[in-house]
């Protein structure tokens, strides 16, 4: 099921930004959860600009700490995330993004980035590669 992405007005964006506690790097952690299945897809970071852009466009945009720039999810791979609903926690210092993930969230081609699990005393891979990463990022 595809969900319509929601976009927010400038006023609503201002109100959300004023309520949140960004850390000493100007970032806030964001959990992306598939809105209808409940699957936790990934954890990444947002700056004020990333969150504002996400709310304005309805397309989830993060702050890449390694590349030090805004990163619209799926900009290279096409595996975009549409925002269905923004939530935040009681301390206002963590975000829960209910999203509609197209394809796979993980750069390894798995649906979720959380594919390593400790089971029976061993670290196991508990999710399969659905899309060849080469197909996502290759020429």
Residues that bind a copy of itself (CB under 8 A): 8-9, 11-12, 15-16, 19, 29, 31, 33, 37-40, 42-43, 55, 85-92, 94, 96, 106-108, 110, 113-119, 121-123, 126
The least distance separating a copy of itself from the CB of residue 41, rounded to whole angstroms, comes to 10
Please compute, for residue 57, the number of CA atoms within 13 A of its CA located in the half-sphere on the CB side. Answer: 15
The least distance separating a copy of itself from the CB of residue 55, rounded to whole angstroms, comes to 7
The least distance separating a copy of itself from the CB of residue 91, rounded to whole angstroms, comes to 7
Q: How far is CA 35 from CA 64, 76, 81, 115, 117, in A?
A: 23, 23, 11, 19, 23
Residue in this structure with the two tokens 């400038």, named with its chain if needed: 10
Give φ, ψ of 48 to 5 degrees: -55, -45
């Amino acid at each position: 099921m595809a969900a319509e992405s929601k976009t927010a007005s400038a006023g609503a964006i201002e109100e959300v930004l004023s309520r949140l506690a960004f850390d000493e790097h100007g970032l806030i952690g964001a959990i992306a959860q598939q809105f209808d299945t409940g699957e936790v897809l990934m954890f990444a970071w947002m700056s004020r600009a990333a969150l504002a852009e996400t709310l304005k466009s309805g397309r989830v945009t993060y702050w890449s700490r390694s590349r030090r720039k805004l990163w619209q999810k799926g900009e290279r791979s096409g595996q975009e995330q549409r925002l269905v609903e923004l939530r935040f926690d009681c301390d206002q210092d963590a975000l829960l993004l209910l999203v509609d993930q197209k394809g796979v969230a993980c750069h390894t081609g798995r649906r979720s980035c959380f594919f390593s699990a400790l089971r029976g005393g061993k670290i196991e891979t508990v999710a399969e590669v659905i899309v060849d990463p080469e197909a996502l990022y290759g020429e």
